[in-house]
Amino acid sequence: MFSHLDTYTRPEPQNSALVTIDLQNDFCLPGAPAEGEGALKAAEQAALAVNLYRELGLPIFHVIRLYSLEQGAETVDVCRREAVEAGTPLLAPDSDGAQPVKSLLPEGVRLAPARLFSGEPQIISNNECILYKPRWGCFHETRLHDLLQQRSITTLAVTGTWFSNCVRTTIYEATARDYRVVALRDAIAGIYPRGEEDIRKIKCGVCSCDEWAEILTQN
């Protein structure tokens, strides 16, 4: 599974953090404004990984998007800015559509937009938080790298939607910062064989959630 990896890229499961990317209702639920094919299924698989990381006491970072014209048009990706300005209801702060898929968060937890827009993490527990990202990648103008370094994290298990946009951008950002990366394929919407091949070429691991769970619980 990871035979193509080496001393510098082989994952270190017990020094890993789980990252969920944009697994929000507006991207995942059937009929949502920006529903991605397979995104709800990916979110359900990611929720299994979230539960395992909670059980093991390992860090979890839910990284999300919010679009708010009140905060400034720059909060909206340029490819969607015109539609949002025209009234498309997408990722509006405090809306149900902006919330992460229900199975990902503890019951009763909702986004705190003011805190998230400030750049600070919304703390769920000692090992779990939510971060706002202003663009595709989870490292761009966020505190993710600092928070990972504070915990001596070397390895990221990546889940989310959509592979070609936010997930792949985050993978490249992570490798550019020397993180070891494992893409959990069944928890990533839009992943495809050529995409898997591309990230393997930069020595990222690719496996299923079950395979990663087996590795985590064996270490």
Q: Note whether residue 116 is domain-resident.
A: yes
Q: What CATH number is associated with residue 193? A: 3.40.50.850
Per-residue confidence band for 219, with pLDDT thresholds at 50, 70 and 90: low
The pLDDT value given to residue 106 = 97
What's the DSSP call for residue 24?
Answer: B
Q: Note whether residue 1 is domain-resident.
A: no
Q: What is the mean pLDDT of residues 109-138?
A: 98
Q: Are 83 and 26 in contact (CB under 8 A)?
A: no
Each residue's pLDDT tens digit, 73-123: 889 999 999 999 999 999 999 999 999 999 999 999 999 999 999 999 999
The pLDDT value given to residue 46 = 98
Q: What is the mean pLDDT of residues 51-69?
A: 98
Q: Are 111 and 64 in contact (CB under 8 A)?
A: yes
Amino acid 211 reads: E
Q: How far is CA 90 from CA 34, 52, 66, 151, in A?
A: 8, 30, 8, 34
Q: Note whether residue 186 is domain-resident.
A: yes
Query: Which helix (DSSP H) or strand (DSSP E) does residue 185 occupy?
Result: strand 180-188
Q: Note whether residue 94 is domain-resident.
A: no
* String of DSSP letters for 21-81: ES-BHHHHSTT-TTPPTTHHHHHHHHHHHHHHHHHHT--EEEEE----TTT-GGGS-HHHH
Q: Note whether residue 90 is domain-resident.
A: no
On the question of pLDDT at 1 being above 90, the answer is no
The pLDDT value given to residue 72 = 86
User: Structural domain tally of the chain?
Assistant: 1
Q: Note whether residue 93 is domain-resident.
A: no
Each residue's pLDDT tens digit, 150-163: 999 999 999 999 99
Which residues form the domain of 119? 13-65+99-218
Please report, rounded to a whole number, the percentage of residues in the chain having pLDDT higher than 90. 96
Q: What is the mean pLDDT of residues 195-202?
A: 98
